Amino acid sequence: MTTVPTYPIAVSVHPTRETLGQAAGALAASILRQALDQHPRATVMLAAAPSQAATLAALADAPHIEWSRVDALHMDEYLGLEPEAPQGFGTWLERSFLRRVPGMSFHRMRVTGDPQADADAYAARLPAGPFDLVLLGLGVNGHLAFNDPPARFDDPQDTRVVELDGVSRQQQVDEGHFATIDDVPRRAITVTIPRLLRSRHVVASVPGAEKRAAVRATLTAPIGPDHPGTALRTHPDVAMFLDHESAPR
């Protein structure tokens, strides 16, 4: 039996969601600058959620990043929405971040009506090597992207069509994206946990009291599929930014 190495997560706690975002965005900017100093281009994988807004705003305002040399991807997309529905994750990122960083190449996940073909097409679009940076959060149930519990830590695929957990769907209502849970799509395409963690650096922005239990489990629960966030402890370079509301007491 192979033992998977584990690593401590670098955790910092900040007074507010805004100061959390400033600190996380500053680290993300530093990582991208370093990547661009060493390579012709840099790749960043983005989560699309209100928890990421302050971090992305700080990153967009960061100086001395040559955005024309950055490729951005995103980690999930609903199935069953209209292409330009405001709840779509690609649409959210274009509205909240990409308009502020003109020149960056954004590789948007397309949903054409054949879910498996769309998932395969996005897998083919991912870079052959590791991402330089992944910016992510934690779901209320601890999910990473839409890898709900029980999550596959050894998934052989880079992308997957998934059925959404009821807790994940309710989170979308609670965050104001949909009026009722019946309005939330039941399926999505997600980048899998092994592919997300094939990255040189991971920056996790996790504000809000509703995430406190997920943070606690991520940091202290046994590593395994019931708590997807615990997979972060198998990566050697994860920085987690919390605010006073999300930090476990």
Calpha distance 187→164 (Å, rounded): 6
* pLDDT reported for residue 212: 98
Mean pLDDT of 164-185: 95
Q: How far is residue 239's CA from residue 105's CA, in Å, rounded to a whole number?
A: 25
For the stretch 134-164, pLDDT in tens is 999 999 999 999 999 999 999 999 999 999 9
Q: Which two tokens stand for residue 209?
A: 């009291």
- pLDDT confidence tier of residue 67, bands split at 50, 70 and 90: very high
Q: First vs last Cα of the chain: how many Å apart? A: 36
CB within 8 Å of 127: residues ≥ 6 apart? 43, 71
Q: What architecture is domain 10-243? A: 3-Layer(aba) Sandwich (3.40)
Q: Residue 228 above 90 pLDDT?
A: yes
What tokens does 137 get?
A: 């959060």
Both structure tokens of 226: 């019931």
Per-residue pLDDT band for 90 (boundaries 50, 70, 90) equals very high
Q: How far lies 114's CA from each of 79, 147, 238, in Å?
A: 10, 20, 35
Nearest Cα residue to 76 out of 137, 149, 154, 9: 137
- For the residues 130-137, what does the mean pLDDT come to? 98
In angstroms, the CA 46 to CA 55 distance is 11
Whether a cis peptide bond, with omega within 30° of 0, leads into 150 is yes
pLDDT attached to residue 4 = 82
pLDDT at 2: 55
Q: 3-state DSSP call for residue 11?
A: strand
What pLDDT is stored for residue 1 in this prediction? 41
CB 160 within 8 A of CB 148: no
28-41 per-position pLDDT tens digit: 999 999 999 999 99
> What is the three-class DSSP state of 245?
coil
Weakest mean pLDDT among 12-16, 111-115, 127-131: 111-115
The token duo for 15 is 């007074």
Give per-residue pLDDT as tens, 213-227. Answer: 999 999 999 999 999
Q: Taking the model in full, what pTM does it have?
A: 0.96
The pLDDT value given to residue 84: 85
